[in-house]
Amino acid sequence: MHPNEKKPSGSVPTANILASKQKEISITEFFEKNKQILGFDSKSKSLLMGVKEAVDNALDACEEADILPDIFVKVEKLEDEEYRMIIEDNGPGIVRKMMPNVFGRLLYGSRFHALRQSRGQQGIGISATIMFGNISTGKPAHVQSKIEGEDSVAWGMDIVIDTKSNRPIVSNEAAFSWENKDSGTRIEYFTRGRYISGKQSIFEYLKNTAIVNPHAKITFVDPDGKTFVFERATDTLPVKSKEIKPHPEGLEIGDLQKMSQATHQKSVRAFLINDFSRVTARIADEIFKITGIKPEKKPSNLTRDECKDIVNAIADVKIMAPQTDCLSPIGDTLIKKGLMHVLDGMRPEYYAPPVTRAPKAVNGNPFTVEVGIVYGGDIPSEGQVTVLRFANRVPLLYQAGACAITKAISDVDWRRYGLEQRGGKGIPFGPAIILVHVASTKVFFTSEGKEAIADLSEITEEIGLALRLCGRNLKSHLRKRERREHTRAKFEIVQIILPELAKRSADFLNKPVPNLDLTISKIMNVIWIEPSVDSKKKKFRKITYTVFNYTRNERSFRMHAQLPKEAVNLTLFSEAHFVEMTEDGKAAWDIKDLPPAASTTISFELTGDMADVFSPDDVYISGINPVIVMGADPLPGDWGIKGIEVTEIESEEDLIEEEEEEEEIQEVLEDD
Amino acid sequence: MTDRHEDAVKNLRKLVDSVYNQMSAGEIPVMELSTRSKKNIEFDPKKSVWVYGDMKTQRTAKTVTGATMMLRTACTVQFIEGMVKTNKSSTLREMYYISEGWGHGKFSSQDESNLLAEDLEIMSGCMREDFKLRPEEDGARVMGDFTLSEMTKKGERKKINCLDDVGESGYGVPYNVEKDNVQFHGGNAKFVVAVETGGMFDRLVENGFCEEQNALLVHLKGQPARSTRRFIKRLNEEMSMPIVVFTDGDPWSFRIYASVAYGAIKTAHISDYLATPTAQFVGITASDILNYDLPTDSLSDKDVSALNSELSDPRFRDEFWISEIQAMLNMKKKSEQQALAKYGLDFVTDTYLPEKLTNMGIL
């Protein structure tokens, strides 16, 4: 029975007795008794949940107000298990009269009815945090806020939640002047809990938040007084998500009934067309044709059966997929930037180009999936890979086992992408970090604690596809590396071992030292392009490519790379081989008539924020048979750039070389 | 410098010359040699030993391993020529240390220098002993009424009786057991017992088995050195002495017998020079463990896989060995020679060996 449903009094005595005991239970009271639903079920989790709710809100508010977030979090240990928690932001602030409701009333918020991507959704979070603090310590929370504008007075107040009435009790309300603050909100509350470090810690949560919010600066002071700062990696704000009307697909009958009662529209026709997204006049007419409902009927007069008919009809009518500007994916560049910024201490060997999938819809809610993989370097190679789960830019730290992301990762056969995995199932092993971000107007979670994404087949499949795409990038890197190592070994042969062999045998036989050029070019038979990076200063990198001609002919070709345009300087344009750079940063260099057994270099500098986004291995060539080039790939067809055409007709010798190369590759396979 | 050594240097020089010529011609140098694995050994019915088959492995300078092997070959050949010229010899271990000065031709472990020495034997058709390379460990101990003569350091030939002229430790087999160094004269000893362990060797000596049964005892010291196997082979061929091999009863001891009788896989290129096809296995067999009710140990996982590997080894593919190996796998037990002491110290010389040797027609 619903808690606040009252039984009508009747003549049956038992029911009367029962009725006298039945009373309204406030939502607050209900949640107090069921705090695990909100995620306050363990001592360490309680501390984290408060920070999580406050930081999520702060990031949402800043985004809405076009402010680059600057967030401060402090956890102070008082006695035994009591902590003072402080979370401060530079968001737009909250007007004075709304403060008690925002912080002191459950289910109060602006987003519950909106259909767009945001971090907080139900409005339960921050007030639940404050309520939990009230209950566990008996102390009120202190909140203060300042809004931008001429009226530069800030307001502060103590808040306690009356759990029976779900109403805030405010005390010590006072205005004050908040120095050096344009706008923002500060929450200070006392709570019981336990501070932990490791995988499910506040530190980990903030670190992961920084990865997917590279536009935010986050400062954290832990109970030992140690300060950690996650600096802002970019000044670019995420694209703001737009609010959209509900998409009719996946609509429940009850939702439709509620909306039909609340609408201002005069007719069902207008109601369908104006209150839903993607319902055109033609679609509305089709629905009327199927259901037989009169278009001019008042929406509030729709019966339950009619609503049911409409819902059924919607399933039969072809409706366009929901528009996607209600989503704000992080984007491949910023995922990479965020990962690099936070994980650079581990000096990863490779950041696989992140994948952002085109949006899809589930139950009328658009969603998109993004995946990034980081590999190698100091990332521990024993044990399972680290999985970073995110929903709408919020890190998910608990209930990994129940989450669709975990399931999707386990379902991929990672052995095909270069990671170890027992039997091709489960979380793979190896030196990798896998990031998965699901963004949606409504993320379906397994529970109110918002810790695990529900395993809906549409979402899990989409995650799987993104993982495979990104996995392919990883595999191609590993293959390239393997091939490079193979060639590097040949370098050792031709540069060190063979010359020694030639000298020794000549010595021994009393003969002249033979000229090895021909033998060497037969063994190598490649153009070898080797990048090196000099990055002594911060935000500065000097990239140098050394190009060796280890073939028997003179060689000419063009080299291409996509550079971060804002990071290049004069050194690029003044370089002798430089040809051109397009609007979007695609640069080209020409190598002309490089003689056999000779080498040349191409070098340039990158400076500024984006200097580290370029990975020197991503270099391409045109105007030469790619089979004989090591260290660069053929120019991709979708580059929109014409490489130099191969004008010369392949000489017979070139063809022979190609065959030899194939043989060699086979030999490598046999070696495996 | 003897002819043998000169021949060796000439043949080795050819190897280096071939590599040099390939480089001068602008080719990628290659070297070819027999594949040294279980898959590539076959029975030579004329010589009754196991030798390498037709499978060849090509070493090419296209790979780091191949190129490095060639460089090592050049260095080693130069080193050998130097030794032959100055009438010196070196142990394989010394060569391993000398290779420190060979740049990238340096050996990274002693196994590599041993393997290379054997590779050179295969490619040149000469013997390691001709290269003036000798193994670290010396050959075995020998005890029994048998007279031979050996060259002394002074260059004189000296006669030695392996019972009267030696101490408790017996006669030590030198690394060069060829005729130019060791010559056989004979004695009362009529057959050879090759014994795996030192403990059993000493037991047989102490019990006077040599004198009583006119046996010549040779201590194998585990897997026998090449000189020991060559020494046994010569006793068999030149003095017509029957050979019996007496080892522990476990898979590793079966292999010791196989290398004495059939030839080892590693040295199959010189099997006809080292192996004694008529050598017989006296024990400990799996049947001995049952018949004499000997104390046993359980087979370890390694033992079991060694036995299984022997089942796929062509050298063990005869009725006797298949049934012995199967029997051991079935009982999951192994036993040592010295387990015979269960029935007293004299049991082996009074009962076990006389019984077995009589059955084999030796006594």
Cβ contacts of B75 on chain A, cutoff 8 Å: 504
Surface-to-core class of residue A183, CB atoms within 10 Å of its CB (0-12 exposed, 13-18 middle, 19+ buried): buried
* pLDDT(B331) > 90: yes
Chain B residues inside the 8 Å CB shell of A522 = 26-28
Nearest to A526 by CA among A488, A478, A565: A488
Element (H, E) at A605: strand A599-607
Q: Can B262 be counted among the known catalytic residues?
A: no
**Which token pair is B5?**
């050594």
Interface test mutation site (partner B, options A485, A487, A498, A504, max chain B beta carbons within 10 A) = A504
Instruction: Name residues whose C-beta falls within 8 Å of residue A358's C-beta, 6 or more positions apart in sequence.
Output: A324, A368
**pLDDT at residue A82 is higher than 90:** yes
* Shortest Cα–Cα distance, B175 to chain A (Å): 28
pLDDT per residue as tens digits for the range B76-131: 999 999 998 898 889 888 999 999 989 888 998 888 888 888 889 988 888 888 88
Give the span between the Cα atoms of B70 and B29, in whole angstroms.
9
Average pLDDT over residues A3-17: 56
Instruction: Give chain B positions within 8 Å (CB) of A504.
Output: 71, 74-75, 78, 105
Show residues of chain B in contact with A498, CB under 8 Å. Answer: 23, 61, 67
Asked if A519 lies within 8 A of B27 by C-beta distance, the reply is yes
One domain for residues A219 and A300: no
The CATH number assigned to the domain holding A73 equals 3.30.565.10
Q: Which long-range contacts (CB under 8 A, 24 or more apart) does A420-426 make?
A: none
Q: What is the mean pLDDT of residues A98-116?
A: 66
Residues A305 and A383 in one domain: no
B131 CA to chain A: closest CA distance, Å?
16
* Residues A106, A185 within the same domain: yes
Q: Is the ipTM of this complex over 0.95?
A: no
For B71, the closest of A501, A519, A522 (CB atoms) is A501
Instruction: Examine residue A600 and state whether it is found in any structural domain, yes or no.
Output: yes
How distant, in Å, are the alpha carbons of A241, A353, A356, A418, A435 from that of A385? Answer: 32, 18, 21, 12, 11
Residue with tokens 């020409």: A590
Q: Is residue A169 part of a domain?
A: yes
- pLDDT surpasses 50 at A655: no
Do A366 and A292 share a structural domain?
A: no
Q: Is residue A355 part of a domain?
A: yes
Residue that wins the pLDDT comparison between A345 and A216: A216
Q: Which residue numbers of B have CB closer than 8 Å to A's CBs?
A: 13, 16-17, 19-20, 22-24, 26-29, 61-64, 67-68, 70-71, 74-75, 77-78, 81, 103-105
Is the Cβ pair B78, A507 closer than 8 Å? yes
Q: CB–CB of A519 and B63 under 8 A?
A: no
- Does some domain include residue A411? yes
Determine whether the interchain pair A501/B81 forms a contact, defined as Cβ–Cβ distance below 8 Å. Answer: no
Mind telling me how many Å the CA of A420 is from chain B's nearest CA? 27
- Chain centroid to CA A33: 35
Locate A550 and state its tokens.
């280890």
Q: Is there a domain that residue A508 lies in? A: no
Q: Based on the domain organization, do A541 and A622 belong to the same domain? A: yes
B284 upstream amide cis, omega within 30 of 0: yes
3-class secondary-structure state, position A474: helix
| Inter-chain contacts counted by CB atoms under 8 A, chains A and B | 80
Domain assignment present for residue A647? The answer is: no
Same domain as A106, residue A75:
yes
pLDDT over 50 (residue A662)? no
CATH of the domain at A260: 1.10.8.50
Tokens representing residue A304 in the block: 């339950």
A392 and A526 share one domain: no
3-state secondary structure A483-494: HHHHHHHHHHHH
- What distance in Å separates residue A422's CA from the closest CA in chain B? 24
Q: Mark yes or no for CB contact A496/B28 under 8 Å.
A: no
Q: Verify that A32 and A157 share a domain, yes or no.
A: yes
d(CA A607, CA A567): 5
Q: Are residues A54 and A200 in the same domain?
A: yes
In the set B20, B52, B96, B97, the catalytic residue is B97
Give me the domain span that covers residue A383.
332-475
Cβ contact A276:A245 at 8 Å: yes
Put simply, the answer to whether B24 touches A498 (Cβ < 8 Å) is: no
Tell whether A376 is covered by a domain.
Answer: yes
Q: Across the interface, which of A496, A502, A517 has its CB nearest the CB of B104?
A: A496
A256 CB-near residues (< 8 Å, 6+ apart): A302, A307, A310, A311
Query: A209 CA to chain B: closest CA distance, Å?
Result: 48
**Cα–Cα distances in Å, from A376 out to A351, A380, A429, A517?**
9, 8, 12, 37
Q: Do A501 and B23 touch (CB under 8 A)?
A: yes
Q: Which residue has the tokens 């004299």?
A: B346
Lowest pLDDT segment from A319-333, A547-561, B52-66: A319-333
| CB within 8 Å: A508 and B19 | no
The C-alpha atoms of residue A401 and residue A265 are separated, in whole angstroms, by 46
The verdict on A201 and A129 lying in the same domain is: yes
**Closest Cα of chain B to A551: distance in Å?**
13
CATH code, domain carrying A350: 3.30.230.10
Distance CA A496, CA A499 (A): 6
pLDDT tens readout for residues B293-326: 999 999 999 999 999 999 988 899 889 999 999 9
Instruction: Say whether both A221 and A353 belong to one domain.
Output: no
CB contact under 8 A, A519 and B16: no
Tens of pLDDT, residue by residue over A358-376, are 888 777 678 899 999 999 8
Token pair, residue B230, equals 């060559």
Q: From CA A657, how far away is CA A625, in angstroms rounded?
A: 11
- The DSSP letter of residue A581 is E
Where residue A556 sits, what CATH number does that domain have? 2.60.40.1170
In a domain, A238, yes or no: no
- Choosing from A475, A498, A527, the residue where a domain stops is A475
**What value does the mean pLDDT take over residues B38-67?**
87
| Nearest-Cα residue of chain B relative to residue A514 | B24
| Same domain, residue pair A133 and A261 | no
**DSSP labels for A108-149?**
--SSTT-BS--S--SS-HHHHHHHHHHHHH---EEEEEE-SS
For residue range A109-118, what is the model confidence (pLDDT) as tens digits?
554 445 566 6
Contact across the interface for B67 and A501, Cβ inside 8 Å: yes
pLDDT average, residue stretch A634-652: 58
pLDDT of A654 above 70: no
**Which residues in chain A are contacts of B61 at CB distance < 8 A?**
493, 497-498, 501, 519, 523
Is A508 close to B74, i.e. CB distance below 8 A?
yes
Q: Is the pTM of this model over 0.90?
A: no
Domain count, chain A: 4
Instruction: Name the residue in chain A with its Cα closest to that of B78.
Output: A508
